[in-house]
Structure 1
Amino acid sequence: MIKMENVQKSFGSNHVLRGLDLQIETGSSMVIIGGSGTGKSIALKCILGLIKQDSGTITVDGKDAEAGDRDAFLARFGMLFQGGALFDSLPVWQNVAFRLLRGSLKRPHDEAREIAIEKLRRVGLKPDVGDRYPAELSGGMQKRVGLARAIAAEPEIIFFDEPTTGLDPIMSGVINDLIREIVVEMGATAMTITHDMTSVRAIADNIAMLHDGVIQWTGPVSQMDNSGNPYLDQFIQGRAEGPIEAVR
């Protein structure tokens, strides 16, 4: 579904992506791991076209990500943002139905609300939550609302940016389980960025280790613990010593 070939991106003298090669199969869940500042979010933004790569090619479903109708391209994606990114001035149901109330995906008001309430139910929230405002919700509830919004338009591809950041272990487990269930249910292609190794084991089919601007290792999550790759091994075991230099 997604293929990146020799993708490079620099910001001045800061070479973030140095020839990134990555392939995400249709209907699979790929998790990208790596330290802060290694380019995980930049890779995601390049796929979406929010940032233009300096060189290399990115294709989505076999077609150049930059070709064709931009709105139609973005309509294929759903996104769960790291910080929730809910609109404080809108009630929860309008946050969930945001894409369904405007643009090319616009639905009648009552239909959009009905879909929003159904998606809230899917992530374990009661219908009355729809009329509350984000500030009235806990962090875990806000994450669930963000997840409901990500799936509201039935996207083919869903991106999850640090989905469990700021959550306690129990709520992190709930979110991980929901993500896995929903991705399988929808048959969606998923790409997740995370530092949380519990999340990796819960939601990944395949993982990719990004360091120094390139993928150092990629393969099934079942092979992660016996990869023989020093970068991956150091990262998942959290060791200070190894090829990845700890910032002191």
Structure 2
Amino acid sequence: MIDLRALTKSFGSNHVLRGVDLVVPTGQSTVIIGGSGTGKSVLLKCILGLVEPDGGTITLDGQDVREGDRDAFLARFGMLFQGGALFDSLSVWQNVAFRLLRGSLQRPKDEAREVAIEKLRRVGLSPDVADLYPAELSGGMQKRVGLARAIAAEPEIIFFDEPTTGLDPIMAGVINELIREIVTEMGATAMTITHDMTSVRAIADRVAMLHAGKIRWEGPIAEMDETSDPYVQQFIHGRAEGPIETLR
């Protein structure tokens, strides 16, 4: 569904993406792994058009993402942001229904609220949470609200940016399970960036490792542990010794 070819992006002298080639198959969950600062978030932003790449191509269903109706393009995506990114001044249901209250996807307010409450239920939150504000929620509840917002408009493609950051191991497991269930139910194409190997094993169909601005390895999750690539082996086992430089 998403095809990246020779994608490059630099910020001054910092060459973040140095020729990324990656195919994200339709209806599968692809997880991008790699250390902090390797360009995972920049990669997502390039696909969404939030950052303009310096070179290369990005196609969605064979069409260049820079062509055609941008609103229609973005309407195909849902996004779970790393920090939740909820609007403090809006109630929970208004956060979930944000895209349904404006723009090309706009629905009547009552209908948008019903959809929001339905999606909150899907992520394990009761209807009485709908009228609370983000500041009244725990970190885990905020992450669930962010997930409900990501799926509210029934997107074809969902991006997850470090979905378990800041969560305790139990809540992280709950979020991983929800992501896996929802992606499967919706038949959505999912792309996740994370350095949490527990999340990788829970939600990935395919894994790609981004290092030094390029995809070092890519393949089915079942082949990840068996690969001989030293970068992948060092990363997935958290070893201090190996080709990936660490600060001492």
Question: Distance between the aligned counterparts of 1:54 and 1:100, measured in 2?
Answer: 33
Say what the alpha-carbon RMSD is for the aligned residues: 0.5
SS at match of 2:51: coil
Shift of 1:61: 1.2
Which structure 2 segments of 5+ residues have no match?
Answer: none
Partner of 1:142: 142
Provide Cα deviations, 1:36-79, integer angstroms capped at 9, x if missing partner. 11010011000001011101000011110100011110000000
> Could you say which residue in structure 2 is the equivalent of 1:126?
126
In structure 2, the residue matched to 1:112 is: 112
1:29 partnered with 2:29 = yes
SS in 1 for 2:165: coil
Tell me the TM-score normalized by structure 2: 0.99
Distance 1:109 1:44 in 2: 31
Separation in 2, partners of 1:13, 1:131: 47
In structure 2, what is the equivalent of residue 53 of structure 1?
53
CA-to-partner distance for each residue in 1:116-168, whole Å, 9 max, x for gaps? 00000000000010011111110000000000000000000000000000000
Equivalent position of 2:212 in the other structure: 212
Map of 1:245 onto structure 2: 245
How many Å separate the matches in 2 of 1:19 and 1:242?
A: 23
Greater than 2 Å deviation, 4+ residue runs: none
- 1:74 equivalent in structure 2: 74
Match of 1:229?
Answer: 229
- Who is 1:176 aligned against? 176
TM-fit CA distance, 1:247: 2.3
The one-letter amino acid paired with 1:138 is S
Which letter does structure 1 place at the counterpart of 2:26?
T
Aligned residues: 248
2:203 counterpart residue number: 203
1:194 maps to what in 2? 194
Residues 1:93 and 2:93 are matched in the alignment? yes
Q: Aligned partners of 2:240, 2:12: CA distance in 1, in Å?
A: 29
Matched, 1:5 2:5: yes
